[in-house]
Amino acid sequence: MKTKNVALIAMMTAIIIVLGFVPPIPLGFIPVPLVLQNMGIMLAGAILGSKRGFLSVIIFLLLVAVGLPLMTGGRGGVAVFVGATAGYIYAYPFAAALMGYGLKKFSHSNFWLELLIVWVVGVIFIDVLGAVGLTAIAHMPFIKALISNLVFIPGDTIKALVVVLIYRRLKKMNVIER
């Protein structure tokens, strides 16, 4: 792997970590808070592409797994991979990979298509797998978990919009290589 790719992956991992420093907003009716860190996952897939975005998120998750408190709220260790947020966390690397693939394959400089790709993968895909995790781990009925996830849609949609705007700007500046 080229030094440039290693640096880009490390930089994106750092961005994901920094976004985790923003305090979570607990909701009370669902054991999953509102976070900004998932925007870093969207950025990884959009900016780095499928493979490098996936690797960036995997490195982040490995750092969390060894106990570094890098998840939103200062959480870390193996416990986060078996808690209520596990479904969301397991979705992260695959969301980055799918988003990178989708943007490379289908976007062709169409803003609305790019937003749709980022939204479907970065919001819907992650929320559905999060609902699966809530069902499996927190024993919440699947439909209730899906309905509870609706609270995340407006904020995550704004995050997806910001990601697409950043992606388009970097693409226009020829910073993004595909």
Q: What domains appear along the chain, each with residue ranges and CATH number? A: 3-172 (1.10.1760.20)
Mean pLDDT of 112-123: 97
Q: How high is the pLDDT of residue 33? A: 82
Average pLDDT of the chain to the nearest whole number: 95
Mean pLDDT of 32-54: 95
Q: Which residues of 148-177 are buried (b: 16+ CB within 10 A; e: fewer)?
A: bbeebeebbeebbeebbebbbeebeeeebe
Single-letter residue type at 153: I
Q: Which residue, among 64, 87, 86, has the nearest Cα to 76 in the 3D structure?
A: 64
Confidence at 15, pLDDT banded by 50, 70, 90: very high
pLDDT at 54 over 90: yes
Q: What are phi and psi for residue 70, nearest 5 degrees?
A: -105, -10
Q: How high is the pLDDT of residue 26? A: 86
pLDDT in tens, 122-142: 999 999 999 999 999 999 999
Q: How high is the pLDDT of residue 77? A: 97
Q: How many CA atoms lie within 13 A of 102 on its CB side?
A: 21
What is the DSSP code (8-state) at residue 22?
S
Q: How high is the pLDDT of residue 31? A: 77
pLDDT in tens, 60-93: 999 999 999 999 999 999 999 999 999 999 999 9
Single-letter residue type at 65: A
Single-letter residue type at 54: F
pLDDT > 70 in the chain, percent: 99
Task: State the SS3 of 44-73.
Answer: HHHHHHHHHHHHHHHHHHHHHHCCCCCECC
Place of tokens 């919001």: 123
Q: How high is the pLDDT of residue 178? A: 62
Mean pLDDT of 142-164: 96
Q: How high is the pLDDT of residue 29? A: 77
pLDDT > 90 in the chain, percent: 88
What is the DSSP code (8-state) at residue 82?
S
pLDDT at 10 over 70: yes
